[in-house]
């Protein structure tokens, strides 16, 4: 079930605080976060995030196209390396 429109999109308020700080001071500090469920807003563009995938932090540079997606979509939690015996000769 999708989120109620009344509430609006979920954005982690701590992230917004950090992004605003980054934007006003014009520094490119990487933002470490576990908030995979937070939506990417237009203000995030140009910042780099370190998004946790359960194991380690994956760095994501936010571009304009990514607005509206969630942060977690860009740091995959599962790694598939192929089946055994599927090796190419």
- Interacting residues with another protein (CB under 8 A): 63, 65-66, 69, 72-74, 76, 83, 85-86
- The residue (of 8 and 85) whose beta carbon lies closer to another protein is 85
Residues 6+ apart with CB under 8 A from 51: 33, 36, 57, 58, 59, 60, 71, 72, 74, 75
Quote the least distance from Cβ 73 to another protein, whole Å: 4
- The residue (of 6 and 83) whose beta carbon lies closer to another protein is 83
Considering just the CA atoms, what is the radius of gyration of the chain in Å? Answer: 16
Quote the least distance from Cβ 78 to another protein, whole Å: 10
Determine the Cα–Cα distance for residues 66 and 69; give it in Å rounded to an integer: 6
Quote the least distance from Cβ 25 to another protein, whole Å: 27
- The residue (of 6 and 81) whose beta carbon lies closer to another protein is 81
């Amino acid at each position: 079930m999708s989120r109620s429109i009344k509430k609006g999109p979920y954005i982690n308020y701590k992230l917004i605080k950090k992004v605003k700080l980054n934007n006003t001071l014009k520094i490119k500090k990487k933002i470490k976060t576990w908030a995979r469920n937070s939506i990417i807003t237009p203000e995030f563009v140009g910042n780099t995030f370190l998004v946790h995938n359960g194991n380690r932090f994956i760095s994501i540079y936010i571009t304009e196209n990514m607005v509206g997606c969630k942060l977690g979509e860009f740091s995959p939690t599962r790694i598939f390396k192929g089946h055994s015996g599927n090796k190419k000769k």
